[in-house]
Amino acid sequence: MPLLLAPGTTLVAATHNPGKAKELVALLDGRFEILSAGSLDIPEPDETESTFVGNALLKARHAAELSGRIAIADDSGLSVTALDGAPGIFSARWAGPSKDFAEAMAKVEARLIETGSDDRSAWFTSALAVAWPDGPSVVVEGIVRGDLVFPGRGVNGFGYDPIFVPTGHDLTFGEMEPAAKDAMSHRAVAFEKLKAALF
């Protein structure tokens, strides 16, 4: 039996970040009622898996078990070819406790210089998982490929957006209009896959 989600179902977004919960609502076209795990006092689990898919599933399962409701979670990050995929699942952690992405981007640049490689290719990944309280789950992954530029450019977006130029474009994600980024991003690709799997 395929797993299906009926419109109007209440989903728990496994995040304590109200911005992320809102983004999930927008990407799901307002089809569902979304409660955030934070508002239900469900603690965030440690992200102990070694892949985006593993961590997204872990977060969704944890929220589904504790809330007794269907839960949705994401895990995302930037992977750099010449750094063997780093920062990858550690993308948020490279910015430190103060979430300083200027520092994280400087670290990427410094590590790249250390390698001596002139390969600047990189990709963003977004894994999205939906878990049911009685056990089943669905997980999908979206990727967007591009090249890194230093110094970064643009003030739109967040995280590593200023240093990422998607393949076939001249502007960084930080310079693009948010709608242009949202139409082609790793998150958009993952959501299309999720919609195809669940609706």
> Which string of b and e fits 39-73 if b means at least 16 CB within 10 Å?
eeebeebebeeeebbbbbbbbbbbbbebbebbbbb
Give the one residue of 40, 158, 177, 192 binding ligand IMP; rule: CB under 6 A.
158
Give the one residue of 123, 159, 172, 194 binding ligand IMP; rule: CB under 6 A.
159
Torsion of CA 146, 147, 153, 156, to 10 degrees: 20
Q: How many residues bind ligand IMP (CB under 6 A)?
A: 15
Residue 91 as a binder of ligand IMP (CB under 6 A): the answer is: yes
**118 classed as catalytic:** no
Structure tokens at 106: 């400087």
Structure tokens at 73: 């979670």
Residues 118, 167: Cα–Cα separation, whole Å: 17
Residues 154, 132: Cα–Cα separation, whole Å: 40
Q: Which is nearer to ligand IMP, 68 or 151 (CB)?
A: 151
Options 4-12, 25-33, 36-44, 158-166: segment touching ligand IMP (CB under 6 A): 158-166
Q: Which is nearer to ligand IMP, 7 or 100 (CB)?
A: 100
Taking the complex as a whole, how short is the minimal distance between the CB of residue 2 and ligand IMP, in angstroms?
Answer: 27
Residue 124 as a binder of ligand IMP (CB under 6 A): the answer is: yes
Residue 171 as a binder of ligand IMP (CB under 6 A): the answer is: no
φ, ψ for residue 15 (rounded to 5)?
-150, 150
| Chain residues in the site for ligand IMP (CB under 6 A) | 74-78, 91-92, 124, 157-161, 173, 185
